[in-house]
């Protein structure tokens, strides 16, 4: 046995193929890429290779998640994204009230920001764009992270919300805001001052980056789009 969870993972992979096999999708397990809690599937459509899919199992929660970033088929990505979102909403994080997910990206010298605002488990607003202030560009993706938070705060004030939970994956977002990190640059000083005086009650929740959290990955995609604006 490659993993104590091998049978469970194999069953899930077989169920996935059974559910969408009528759309000409098929999967082969890549036997030399097993990990204790994960398996890799070689994916095909009408017999043609379309990339790799990682399937993860969390024994404590008895839930599965997908990493489909290596897939080259948007239709399959969309189906897996919906399936993952449904599982996440039903078994992971409760979004009672207003929540925001923020991220920043740096690609080929350009900085982007992305944000998604969730109310009661429903996406109600999203935004992305480029950071163009030359004073901020040397901070790379951090500038995008902080810009995204600023946009969230502005949105809350425009729509009359006095509190929000902000989910983030870069520690400085919270640490500069609460004064745990000393703001030494113009960007971080302005950010810290803005958050301290915004009049909004913010609950901070750190998420590990690129671990399959749906809305965190969603904000990441938006931030990457922002670098193309």
Give tens-digit pLDDT for 181-204: 999 999 999 999 999 999 999 999
Q: Look at the alpha carbons of 185, 229, 158, 172 in this order and tell me if their dihedral is positive or negative.
A: negative
E strand or H helix at 102: strand 98-107
Give the C-alpha separation, 195 to 51, whole Å: 43
- Count of beta carbons in the 10 Å neighbourhood of residue 102: 29
Q: Read off φ and ψ for residue 132, nearest 5 degrees.
A: -110, -10
- Asked if 55 and 133 sit in the same domain, the reply is no
- Asked if 80 and 128 sit in the same domain, the reply is no
Range of 57's domain?
A: 6-91
- Asked if 105 and 216 sit in the same domain, the reply is yes
Lowest mean pLDDT among 75-89, 105-119, 156-170, 198-212: 75-89
pLDDT of residue 138: 93
- Asked if 128 and 18 sit in the same domain, the reply is no
Residue from 60, 100, 101, 67 nearest 83 by CA: 67
- Asked if 204 and 111 sit in the same domain, the reply is yes
- Asked if 202 and 106 sit in the same domain, the reply is yes
Percent of the chain with pLDDT over 90: 59
Domain boundary among 44, 64, 91: 91
1 belongs to a structural domain: no
Residue 211 has pLDDT above 80, yes or no: no
Domain boundary among 60, 91, 122: 91
Q: Read off φ and ψ for residue 156, nearest 5 degrees.
A: -60, -45
**Bridge partner list, 171:** none
DSSP class of residue 68 equals -
Structural domains in the chain (count): 2
pTM: 0.62
- Asked if 86 and 125 sit in the same domain, the reply is no
- Asked if 45 and 158 sit in the same domain, the reply is no
Those residues whose C-beta lies under 8 Å from the C-beta of residue 110, and which sit 6 or more positions away, are 130, 227, 228
pLDDT of residue 56: 86
- Asked if 81 and 166 sit in the same domain, the reply is no
Lowest mean pLDDT among 1-5, 7-11, 183-187, 192-196: 1-5
């Amino acid at each position: 046995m490659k993993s104590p969870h091998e049978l469970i993972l194999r069953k899930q992979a077989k169920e996935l193929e059974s559910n969408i096999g009528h759309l000409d999708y098929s999967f082969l397990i890549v036997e030399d890429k097993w990990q204790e809690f994960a398996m890799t599937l070689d994916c095909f459509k009408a017999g043609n290779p379309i990339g790799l899919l990682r399937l993860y199992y969390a024994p404590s929660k008895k839930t599965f998640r997908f990493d489909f970033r290596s897939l080259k088929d948007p239709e399959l990505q969309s189906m897996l994204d919906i399936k993952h979102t449904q599982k996440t909403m039903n078994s992971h994080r409760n979004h009672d009230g207003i929540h925001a997910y923020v991220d920043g990206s740096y690609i080929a010298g350009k900085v982007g920001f992305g944000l998604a605002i969730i109310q009661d488990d429903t996406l109600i607003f999203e935004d992305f764009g480029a950071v163009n202030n030359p004073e901020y560009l040397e901070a790379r993706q951090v500038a995008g992270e902080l810009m995204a938070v600023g946009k969230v705060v502005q949105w809350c004030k425009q729509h009359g919300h006095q509190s929000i939970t902000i989910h983030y994956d870069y520690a400085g977002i919270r640490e500069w805001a609460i004064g745990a990190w000393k703001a030494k640059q113009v960007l971080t000083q302005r950010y810290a001052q803005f958050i301290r005086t915004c009049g909004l009650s913010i609950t901070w929740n750190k998420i590990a980056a690129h671990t399959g959290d749906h809305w965190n990955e969603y904000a990441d995609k938006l931030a990457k789009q922002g670098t193309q604006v």
